[in-house]
Amino acid sequence: MATASNQCLDCSVRDTSLCGGADTDDLAALSAIGRRRTLGAGQVLTWAGDANLLCANVVAGILKVTAATANGREQIVGLLFAGDFVGQPFTDDSTVTVTALSESDLCIYPRERFERVLGKAPGLEHALLRWTMAALDNARERMLTLGQRGAQERIAGFLLDLVDRASPGGPSNVISIDVPISRGDMADFLGLTIETVSRQLTRLKGMGAVALPRGGRTILVQDRAILEALANLG
C-alpha cells in the first residue's frame, strides 16, 4: 500500500480541503504528484487565456480570482482562502486570473496528472463535485446579492463571510478581520461605489456592529447579530 508524505498527513487543511475526501491510497497518489509552492503578495498563479497547466489546494493565504469585462476592466469574481481548491480540471485554457493577495502557501498538482488521479479515485471525484456545486451555489448567492439586496445588506454579508473564514465556528465576541482587498476592490466586488462602501461602513460603526481602527484594512466585528440582521440572516 502506498503511503502519503508526512507533509500531507500533517497538513493544516488536510480535513477541510479537497484531500478530506481522499482515502489512504488516494492521498498517497496526490502526495506523489503534489509540490508546495509559496506565492508572494501580488504574484500571479494563472493568467486568463494561458494554457491551463495546474490545479492546487490553498494551504495558507488569500488569493483573488479575476476576469476581464467586455471593456477590458479587471473584475474580482471570487476570493480563495485556506482549504479552497484552485483550478479548472478538464479545461485546456484558463478563463480567469488567480493572484495572491497575501503571501500564500499552495499545494500544486499538474492538471493532467491530477485528472488521471481523479479517474482512479471516486472519493476525490465526489469531493471535487461537492466543491464545484458549493462554488456554483456561492455564485448564485452573489448574483442574488447584487440583484436584490441593498448596499448595507451586501456589505454586512461580505463581512460575515470574512468572519466565518477568519474564525469558523468561533466565539461571538469581538473578532478582528483583515479585509484582503481595498475599498475600491470591495466596491467593484459588491457592485457599489467606493463612496457607498465608506459611508455604509461608517453607519455600521455607528450602530456598534463594527469598529474601524485607523490605518490599514483591519475591521473589528463587535456585534455579529447586527450584521446577520442587516444581511437578512437573522
- Predicted local distance difference test score (pLDDT) of residue 207: 95
Q: How far is CA 186 from CA 6, 27, 60, 108, 195, in A?
A: 39, 37, 21, 28, 11
Through-space distance between the first and last CA atoms of the chain, rounded to whole angstroms: 49
Rounded to an integer, what distance in angstroms lies between the CA atom of residue 61 and that of residue 14? 15
- Is residue 18 within 8 A of residue 128, CB to CB? The reply is yes
What residues of the chain score a pLDDT lower than 70? 1-6, 145-147, 166-172, 233-234
Fold of domain 6-134:
Jelly Rolls (2.60.120)
- Predicted local distance difference test score (pLDDT) of residue 75: 86
- Is residue 177 within 8 A of residue 162, CB to CB? The reply is yes
CATH class of 149-230: mainly alpha
- Predicted local distance difference test score (pLDDT) of residue 234: 44
CATH 2.60.120.10 intervals, the chain: 6-134
Q: What is the pTM for the complete model shown?
A: 0.84
Q: Cα-flanking dihedrals φ and ψ of residue 175, to 5°?
A: -125, 130
- Predicted local distance difference test score (pLDDT) of residue 145: 67
CATH 1.10.10.10 intervals, the chain: 149-230
- Predicted local distance difference test score (pLDDT) of residue 7: 72
The strand order across the sheet containing 74-80 reads 44-46, 97-100, 63-68, 74-80
- Is residue 175 within 8 A of residue 220, CB to CB? The reply is yes
Rounded to an integer, what distance in angstroms lies between the CA atom of residue 30 and that of residue 125? 13
